[in-house]
Structure 1
Amino acid sequence: MTNPSHRSRPVPGRSARAALFTGIGATSLVVLTACGGGGSGSGSDRSSAGDSDVASIASPGKAVGTPTRTTDPDAGRPVIRLDSSAEETNRMWDSWYACLRAKGGPLKGAPTTPAAKAGAKACASKQPITPPELDPAQNPDYSDDLRVMVKCLNAHGIRATMVGDSDYSFDQSQPNPPHFNEIETACQVKAFQK
């Protein structure tokens, strides 16, 4: 089994791990969005004369409530959390695939034609972001965390072995135990969540 952080998108029928990563990202986005707004409570919107109970009129500058534009290319994209369910993750990937199909984007590989490039660009905001904890380039403890996950899987009856320092595989000679997806998700959260 390959490292899920190296896949750009899951193929229908693949393990729920890819779906899990997508769900994790979406929930993170919702949490970050919910925590990002709100008033400061510092009284900065009160007049400088000290009349805190007097209403004031906004000066004719920037319109109040005008959204600011961001230069972050990942802004608005669904983010998979470590603990996202397979259903949440699949829903995010399915939304992106549906957009690609509707806009003519590539379902496999990089876009090669102008139409495919336009479709990919139109759907970029729907492509799920995998958790940074699952990216060896962003997580300096990735190998150690992965070893913890493999030990957890083995402790729950799922035969897994490390492949190098950045991947693992399952023993395909055994059927998956009941609740395989839940066990895999729980072990992933235990190993990678700080």
Structure 2
Amino acid sequence: MIPRQIIIAFRHHKLLFGLTGLLLAINIAVFLRIREEQITTIPRLHQTYEAKRKASLLQRPDTPALRMEQTREDLLRFAGSLPDGLTVPDVMQEVLELLDGNGLPRVNMSFTPESANFPNLMRYTTSFSVSGEYPRLKTFLAALQNSKTLFCIEGLSLANQTGDSGPVTLQLKLALYLRSGPDKEMKG
């Protein structure tokens, strides 16, 4: 009985079924055409990209001497951007003021000097933990990042002390580069 009803419905709606079939056939044809275009276009785009990349690599000489010279220039530019007359106690005071300014407790810190492997530069590192509310810690980190002193944040971790809410502990490792000799040798 059901097949007979389907046949009767098909006879009454021939136009609807015909248009639906036609639209389906057109949709399949368009899909196959676009897919065929994409299949041929993608390898061509890859070849174009590789050709441009190789051309740009060939244009710049990539010798070890040139890389060393570029590194030297980068280091000189970095050293030139370091503030004059800054000392470790000044930096410690700045970090403590940033902590105070954000309502965080003062911490004990000591900077350890290390060689920076570049003339007239010293590298100092310190690690410390501070606990407080997350928004205050976030504001402290933003202030540290926006400081005129060039701090390098080498390590950062946040740990929640009591589940999903409450105080958060920030573990921070900072590195700092300071001038250690006469400026004339550094501008070199």
Q: Structure 1 length normalisation: TM-score?
A: 0.26
Higher radius of gyration, 1 or 2: 2
In terms of fraction of residues, the more strand-rich structure is 2
Structure with more relative contact order (C-alpha pairs < 8 Å, separation 6 or more): 1
